[in-house]
Amino acid sequence: MRRSVLLLSLALVTIGPAFAAPPGGPEIAGWTETARLLPSGLELPAKLDTGAENSSLHVERQRYFRRGGERWVRFTVEAGGRRVGFERRVLRKAAIKRHDEDSHVRPVVAMVICLGSKAHEVEVNLVDRSRFDYPLLIGRSFLAGEFLVDTAASNLQPLDCPEKPTQ
């Protein structure tokens, strides 16, 4: 019996580190986290979705306008009793294919998202996500190389945002 316990302990010590995140490698995040939009500081619940290439953000009062000959969009985001207005240049339009429905076209803008201690400027689709539990969906363009998602956990990354986006 002592020998079995000793062998099991030795096996766990030997292979245990293989299941941990490598030092300097990706951090572990839960399938839901709190994220922050920079530079506004607006915090909102987010779902981490490794099946989505880009991130999506629930917006209200979306209005297009022109500035310097380019197409821009003005919108508001509400979270935690706070409503913040944004203006962003439209980078492109994304056609989103939906099951049993026609494609839906969404504007794509650049936004700085912070999760844990990582902040990156990424492409974000602006959309009505009011029927979803999470106003922000964070996709692979943000997660890749930075986070491994533990689908059995939530809120593993306390917010500790840098002042500027990390590389």
CATH code of the domain in which 49 resides: 2.40.70.10
The answer as to whether 161 is a domain residue is: no
Q: Which domain holds residue 45?
A: 22-154
Query: What's the whole-number mean pLDDT along residues 2-27?
Result: 53
**Number of domains observed in the structure of the chain:** 1
The answer as to whether 76 is a domain residue is: yes
The answer as to whether 89 is a domain residue is: yes
Report pLDDT for 7.
45
pLDDT digits (tens, 9 = 90+) for 116-164: 999 999 999 999 888 889 999 999 999 999 999 999 999 999 999 887 7
Is the pTM above the cut of 0.85?
no
What Rg value do the Cα atoms of the chain yield, rounded?
Answer: 20
Query: What's the whole-number mean pLDDT along residues 15-22?
Result: 46
The answer as to whether 105 is a domain residue is: yes
The answer as to whether 17 is a domain residue is: no
